[in-house]
Structure formats: C-alpha cells, structure tokens
Chain A
Amino acid sequence: MTVREESGNDALVRMAGVQKWFGDLHVLQDIDLEVARGEVVVVIGPSGSGKSTLCRTINRLETIDKGEITIDGAPLPEEGKALAAHRADVGMVFQSFNLFAHKTILENVTLGPIKVRRKSKADAEKRAQELLDRVGVGHQANKYPAQLSGGQQQRVAIARALAMDPKVMLFDEPTSALDPEMIKEVLDVMVDLAERGMTMIVVTHEMGFARTAANHVIFMADGQIVEKSDPETFFTNPQSDRAKDFLGKILKH
C-alpha cells in the first residue's frame, strides 16, 4: 500500500520503493514514506513486522536491496566518508542505549562533536553539559554508564545524539528495555524534543506517547506499511483488520 497523501516539497526523509530481504524473508516490502520537517512519526506494529529494520535503514545500519532513501533531498551514500557525514546528521537512539562503556557520561556526549564536528573540547563540553542538564542527568556527567539507571542512560543517549545537532532523530524502541517507572522520564524528554520541533521517527509500543506527540502513526505488519493516519483516527477507528487485531491485543489490558 502506498502512503503519500501529503508529499510536499519539504520532505526531510523520503523512502521510495524500498525493499529488503533477509535471505528468503522479505522484511521490507515496497516501503514509501515521507516525513516532513518538524514532523513526529510513530511506527508501531507487531514484532517481526520490520519496523526496527525500517528505522535502521535510514542511517544505513541496515542496507537496502532496492529503492531509494533520501535525507534533505540527498540520497544515502553507499559507504565511507560520505556515509559517516550523513550519519552525523541523523541522530539515533537504541533500545539498549549503547553508551560507550569505557567513557564517562560527558565523554560519551562530547566524542562526536570533537571527533566528527571538530569542535574544541571546551565548546563541546559546554554544550554537552547544557544538554545533560536539559535531559536531567547533568550532575552525573563524570560517572560511567554502568553507574546509571537504564532511564538515565537512555536520556544520556538522547543527549549524545542531540549533541551532533541532527536534522532528524531516529528512536528504535527507546523504552522497551526499561523498567516501567523509568519509561516516563525518557518519554518526557522525547515529548519535550517533539515540542521543540525536532523531526522524529519513533519505533515504539508506547501508545500514550503516540497520542501525545505524534503527527502520524504508521502501522506496519509483515514488512509492509498497512496504515498511516493521525493518532486519534488510528486508535479509535483503525481501517485495516490487521491493525484492529493488533490494537485489540495490546489495548485489552
């Protein structure tokens, strides 16, 4: 199914006819997607539906077999320096945080700005401290990741991505590895980010976040985009049987 109702010229992320196979498994089937500047798109769907893979193709942590992905009009580079430069413009937050275990919180946030953006150490640290304060872990700057709770680590990971001044932020199930009481602190940071106008693509099971912050909800199943609509319509009046079935299962309890 093609979803392209508001293909304006301001599409920041554009996927056209994207196909990907893992062996025989057709994990992404003819994906067309446009995300406009400042838009928040939430991707939901059952596990194995390809939503994480879709998210990871946008900074080429997963390669695609067919189709095209462009960011800000420029197609994704294949490899090498151009790809690294592209990734610097795309922030990514992982399910398992992936903070650099051997570096302090502050060093985690300054590494990219210093090594990739060539900022001075002083500038990078100043900005890092601001971002850490903003996500509420400023006083932990000199600790190591293992000394922080999961929720704190994930907020640091968001600060690390923001330190690169990305054009778009990708969130790959950012709260799935967290204890329930820590989910809110991460979602609060994400909502704040959305309100500040960041372009975000968020793979999540957090329906509350989708309702609060999303402009669009994309429902994926079996490697396809089955449905795309605004959150209210999606949750109250899903069109496809697949989405009705999915919502019935997750909203029951």
Chain B
Amino acid sequence: MDVVWENREAILIGFTHTILLFVIAGIGSLLLGTLLAAMRVGPIGVLRVAAVIYVSLVRNTPLLMILLLFRFGLPKVDIKFSFVDVVIPTTAGDIRLNNIFTACVLGLTVYTAAFVAEAIRSGINAVPLGQAEAARAIGLPFGGVMREVILPQAFRATVPPLASVQIALIKNTTVAGAVGVVEAFNVMRSMTNNYAGSRIEIFIAFAIIFVFLVEIYSFAAHRLERRWRIA
C-alpha cells in the first residue's frame, strides 16, 4: 500500500475530477432529463416526438462514442469548448476544468439525461391521472400542473430508479478518463503502468474508494426516500 500512499495527492486530484464530473453532469442531466420527460408527456406533438427520438437515439449509443463525439467530433466542426479554462491550484496539485473536462461533462450530461428522462417518466406515470385532472380543473396551465402537482409527486416515486441512474453516472465518469480527463481511472491507469508490481494493491485501493463514494450517495438517496415517504 506504500505506492498508494506515496501517490495520495495524485489520487486525491483524480477523485476530485471524478466528483466534479459527477456533480456537474448529475445536476445537468437531472435538469435536461426532467425537461425531456415533461416534453414527452406534454401537449405539444413536435416536442413529444423530439423527446422520443432523443431518448432512443442517446440511450442506444455507447457512452464512449458519445464522449468521443464531444471530445473529438464536435471540435472538427468548430464546436470547441476552449472558452472554459479554469485552473484551481491546490497543495495537492492543480484542478483543471478545461475544454476536455467540459466536453466530457456535456457528453455525460447528454447521455445520462436520457436515462433520467425515462426514470422520471415512470414516476410521472405512477402519479394517478386524477391528480393532473384536479390540477387542470383549478385552472393551472400545463407548466403549472407539472411543476406544482405532478413532478413533486413523480420525484418521490423516482428516487430509487434515479439513484441507480446517478450511481451509474459516478462509475461512467471513468470513461472520461479514457478520453483525457485526469480523473480517478486515468490516475489509476498511469499508476498501474508506473508500478507494475503493485497492480493489485492499486486496483483494490481505487475500488474501495469508488465503493465508498457510491455508498455515500446511496445512503443520501435512501434518507431522501424515507423522508419523502412520510409526507
């Protein structure tokens, strides 16, 4: 375990990038996914069709291909993300939020949003139709019906499947390592290359940290589920 301890600063920076990818893409996918789910159940036909196409297209495409598109494909047609270039120096090293990071955040957001949309749609379907009818009957327009009555109830029913989607996102951030973000998986790969004799220890250390991160998230989701159930 000496190898792991000696490289603790690099590992810390790696996981910081992992967590940043997760948090930003997590929030982004939640917003985009909710919008897609609302479009899907909404009264406007064009938006309904657009949401269906988005979900089936994105959900059926491997994540690596989507990240490659954002990382290498879009810059070819001059959609670069070089306007983002933030370096936060810390005692453990630099946290870099650059064009590569941005491309990966967007790719992860776009990808995860499709799954979020489906999870929320299942939650919306779990809300009895009478709730929407009563909301419409007091004169709320579609947006108000969704915001005030349907989505708050749908989210409650959606916490367990959404937690699964977001946990998958934590682990999917490793794919960003493959296209150049120095996140945990990327750090691990360079460590296993540099310390070939300690591969097992390095693997185990990273696995434990990932399990730990996911457990924290699961615990929070579980608490949320219980608190909302009472209301």
Q: A residues near B, CB below 8 A?
A: 59, 61, 79-81, 84-92, 94, 96-102, 111-112, 115-116, 144, 157, 160-161, 164
Contacts and interface: CB of A to CB of B under 8 A. Distances in A.
B136 interface: yes
A23 B44 CA distance: 23
16 contacts: A59-B137, A81-B141, A87-B136, A90-B137, A91-B137, A96-B128, A98-B134, A99-B134, A100-B131, A111-B140, A111-B149, A115-B148, A116-B138, A116-B139, A160-B138, A161-B138
Contacts of A59: 137
A98 B138 contact: no
B138 A87 contact: yes
Contacts of B156: 102
Interface in B172-231: 231
B136 A98 contact: no
A112 B138 contact: yes
B62 interface: no
Contacts of B136: 61, 84, 87
Contact of B139 (A79, A87, A96, A102): A87
B125 to A, nearest CB: 15
B140 A112 contact: yes
B138 A88 contact: yes
Contacts of A92: 134, 137
B138 A94 contact: no
Given A79-B43, A115-B144, A115-B148, A98 B139 contact: no
B135 A100 contact: yes
A203 to B, nearest CB: 15
B55 to A, nearest CB: 25
B152 A102 contact: yes
Contacts of A97: 130
Contact of A84 (B139, B149, B153, B231): B139
B94 interface: no
Contacts of B149: 100, 102, 111
B129 to A, nearest CB: 9
Given A101-B153, A111-B148, A84 B140 contact: yes
A88 B135 CA distance: 10
Nearest to B130: A98
A81 B133 CA distance: 16
A98 B153 contact: no
Contacts of B139: 84-89, 112, 116, 164
Contacts of A94: 130, 133-134, 137
B148 A98 contact: no
Nearest to A96: B130
A80 to B, nearest CB: 7
Contact of B153 (A85, A87, A96, A102): A102
A94 B152 CA distance: 22
Nearest to A170: B137
Contacts of B43: 79
Interface string B107-135: 00000000000000000000010110111
Given A101-B131, A102-B149, A102-B152, 15 more contacts: A61-B136, A79-B43, A81-B141, A84-B136, A85-B139, A86-B139, A87-B136, A88-B138, A92-B134, A94-B134, A94-B137, A98-B128, A100-B135, A102-B156, A164-B139
B38 to A, nearest CB: 16
B130 A164 contact: no
A207 to B, nearest CB: 26
A127 B152 CA distance: 25
A60 to B, nearest CB: 9
Contacts of A161: 137-138
Given A79-B43, A102-B152, A111-B148, A61 B138 contact: no
Nearest to A89: B139
A88 B140 CA distance: 8
